[in-house]
Structure 1
Amino acid sequence: MESKEAALAVWRAFATRDPDRIRAVLTDDAEWRAPARNATAVALGVTDHMVGADAIVRFIVADYPRLFCNGMRIDPISLTADGDRVVFEQRQSATLANGRDYALDYVFIFEMRGRRVRRIREYMDTKSGYDQVFGSAPATAIV
């Protein structure tokens, strides 16, 4: 149960967009890996593999809001914990900076080290993500 509560605290910290609160729930060597060339990374012109707490903080505080400028609605679907691994299944929806609607199911796997997250693996339907972000336009940085 401790890992589940710690992982929920990570999401709460992310939602604040406060760099110090976010950094406090990450290990210094934290990593976040998403599918290669996913639509969010391409649209923002950023990497799909963040290494280090500073890179993750920068993504959440500075990069992410450029595309999801009106925030992101997160609807939990399921939450499972086994030892130091916590799996979140959720639907995320937003209006993008280019005015397009966005709604996609995600799975996040958090590997916890105590009350901090050490590794995040992110999965989603990349084809649907591209269709929603870019439509028929070329997949390039848009913000």
Structure 2
Amino acid sequence: MNSTNPKEIVINAWKTFKTRDAQLIAELFTPDAEWIAPAGNATAVALKHTDHMIGPDQIAQFIASEMHHLFSNVDISFRGIHADGDTVIVEERMRATLPGGKPYENDYCFAFVLSGERIKLVREYMDTRKGWQMIFEPL
């Protein structure tokens, strides 16, 4: 990465996530990186996946491939990106299509903690009840 501005580093990370290139995505993270989502969230349960990913390879594989087994036609709209020191907060809405064509829409907040120009920690927050209803309850 060429930028040392934390906000730009995270914006560029989201652009890289969209490529679904696991190698490029892994390069964004420190060797000891962690991604922590709410325990028992619907995405993790539906995919039989952990809610606490450790290491750049596991994180990259999830972003590049695994999440797309549940979500297709993913559309992210950003509501705000706020930086303070090495921490960047991203507020977003994700819209996608679930298996069988059912729509998915949920608001998320991510806290990215950087170490230099790489991501060391991501804490993910979402409306877990709404996510559960959309994924597991009939229309």
Give the TM-score band, short-chain normalised: over 0.9
- Conservation of the 8 A alpha-carbon contact between 1:7 and 1:115: no
For 1:79, the equivalent position in structure 2 comes to 81
Alpha-carbon distance, 1:99 to partner:
2.1
Q: Which stretches in structure 1 are left out of the alignment for 5+ residues? A: 137-143
Coordinate RMSD, CA, aligned? 1.4
1:94 equivalent among 96, 106, 111: 96
**For 1:84 and 1:97, how far apart are their aligned partners in 2?**
37
For 1:43, the equivalent position in structure 2 comes to 46
Superposition map of 1:112-131 within 5 A? 112-131=114-133
Alpha-carbon distance, 1:58 to partner:
1.4
Alpha-carbon distance, 1:98 to partner:
3.3
**For 1:14 and 1:93, how far apart are their aligned partners in 2?**
16
Superposition map of 1:11-50 within 5 A? 11-50=14-53
Q: Percent identity?
A: 45
TM-score norm. by structure 1 comes to 0.91
**For 1:62 and 1:92, how far apart are their aligned partners in 2?**
17
**For 1:16 and 1:112, how far apart are their aligned partners in 2?**
21
Q: Which stretches in structure 2 are left out of the alignment for 5+ residues? A: none
Count matched residues: 136
- Conservation of the 8 A alpha-carbon contact between 2:27 and 2:56: no
- Conservation of the 8 A alpha-carbon contact between 1:10 and 1:116: no
SS in 2 for 1:58: helix
- Conservation of the 8 A alpha-carbon contact between 2:38 and 2:51: yes
**For 1:74 and 1:7, how far apart are their aligned partners in 2?**
14
Alpha-carbon distance, 1:31 to partner:
0.3
1:7 equivalent among 10, 18, 21: 10
Letter in 2 for 1:59: F
